[in-house]
Structure 1
Amino acid sequence: MTKAIKLLTALPQVQRERLMELAKEVSFPEDTRIFEAGGNADRFWVIRSGAVSLDQQVTPTQRVTVASLGAGDLLGWSWLFPPYQWDFGAVAFSQVRAYEFDASAVLAVCVEDPLLGLSVVRTVAEILAHRLETTRGKLMEQYSSRGRSVI
């Protein structure tokens, strides 16, 4: 399994500094719901400390945790793709400190600076690919632990 990609450390320094000009420091107390699936995806965060669980509502009364994120991880990518709605929910598993970015401001800077835009899109795509690979691995483990062969 490959190492997790971190948005801020993956960007070249000049581009990282430009992006950080748009950052706002925020915090979320433990057990705070940060966003809900289907909500308006108009921002994203880079976690500085703490842990966030991504979840999916599977029945009216049950949620399943699909990923856990920590320091350096990107929280939220739906701001980058239409229809700009969260695909999952997110809850602070512990006290969380993060950098918050307004999506429209970041997108405007990416249009002004196409190299920054390309770097952001590529890095987010790499993060998504890594998360998909991790999820696939977990699903295969669960499936094979039930005594079924994996094709």
Structure 2
Amino acid sequence: MKRTGVLAALPEEPRERLMALSREVTFDVGTRIFEEGGRADRFWVIRTGNVELDIHVPGRRAAVVETLGPGRMLGWSWLCPPHQWHLGAEAASPVRAWEFGAAEVLELCARDHELDHALLMYVIEVIGRRLRAARTRLLDLYGPYGSGSQE
């Protein structure tokens, strides 16, 4: 299987140590995986399927800000205090994923500086990409015409 996303970003040995902590999970279409503001104590790497990330908009239906597919990391809030989800997530199709407990990964990262650095650099990239996607989507939905297409 070709590695993409976070698994491609990690060096081989640290990736193997991280994968030893994973467990396989599945989500049926329409399953709410987590809610904005909930406790963030895990993350997933999507194997198959798609997950929609959404943001609560007062007085309106949640706005989908990004769709994640295979290889992508689902959830980064486990790494940053106060460890609460910044977005919500729902399976847009049947999803198979590897699930990782935050506490175990953080313990491993404390001992494995190569993994710690590579994972942190990847998560920083994810945070930036998701922030841009949320901004663009909200401007497209609620801003002046065409304002979301410019950066």
Are 2:138 and 1:126 equivalent residues in the alignment?
no
Aligned residue pair count: 146
| Identity among equivalent pairs (%) | 48
CA offsets 1:82-138 (integer angstroms, 9 cap, x no match) = 000000100000100000000000000000112211111011112222333445555
For the residue of structure 1 that corresponds to 2:57, the secondary structure is strand
**Contact 2:47/2:96 (<8 A) preserved:** yes
**Whole-angstrom CA distance in 2 between matches of 1:38 and 1:76:** 12
**Partner residue, 1:57:** 56
Q: Specify every segment of 5 or more residues in structure 1 that has no aligned partner in the other structure, as ranges.
A: none
CA shift, 1:139, in A, is 6.2
For the residue of structure 2 that corresponds to 1:58, the secondary structure is coil
Give the 5 Å matches for 1:72-151. Answer: 72-135=71-134, 146=145
Q: Which amino acid aligns with 1:119?
A: A
For the residue of structure 2 that corresponds to 1:131, the secondary structure is helix
Change (3 A) 1:115 1:57: same
**Contact 2:14/2:112 (<8 A) preserved:** no
Change (3 A) 1:32 1:119: same
Q: Specify every segment of 5 or more residues in structure 2 that has no aligned partner in the other structure, as ranges.
A: none
**Partner residue, 1:6:** 5
**Whole-angstrom CA distance in 2 between matches of 1:109 and 1:73:** 21
TM-score (norm 2): 0.86
TM-score (norm 1): 0.86
Change (3 A) 1:110 1:72: same
Q: Which amino acid aligns with 1:96?
A: V
